[in-house]
Amino acid sequence: MLYDSYDVEVLADRLEEEMEVINEMNKIMDIREQCRERAIEFAKEWGYEEVSSHILDIMVSIMCTRDKSSYAGGGFVEAVVANNLYLAMNRADTQCRNHIFLLTMCKANCYLNQF
């Protein structure tokens, strides 16, 4: 199939737009990975040697929601970030209830640029 010059220009523009979206998604994923590494360190600093992947994901979501550096978390995370204990406990699953201290300390004290 042959393309005329207009089709090539349109395809090039679309490709450029898609590359911009991919680059933006890579930045977001890079921020989330940095937050995950910091969350692991933070948990250890607070005496939690082994934290489940679920709790680490929640910590990352709390950090990103608080800092508006990535997409926002769900209802539980929004409640933690808003410092609404009643709502947070109502929306928490069992693991989050068991780690509420760590999660609230994360909201208040866990930042990427602490070093």
> How many domains is the chain built from?
1
Amino acid at residue number 94: T
Per the domain annotation, does 49 fall within a domain?
A: yes
- pLDDT exceeds 90 at position 113: no
Residue 62 lies in a domain: yes
Would you state the pLDDT for residue 25?
A: 62
Q: Which pLDDT band, with edges at 50, 70 and 90, does 5 fall under? A: low
Tell me, yes or no, whether 40 lies in a domain.
yes
Whether 93 is in a domain gets the answer yes
pLDDT at 6 over 80: no
The helix or strand, by DSSP H or E, that contains position 25, with its residue range, turns out to be: helix 5-45
Whether 51 and 102 have beta carbons less than 8 Å apart is answered as yes
Q: Is the pTM of this model over 0.85?
A: no
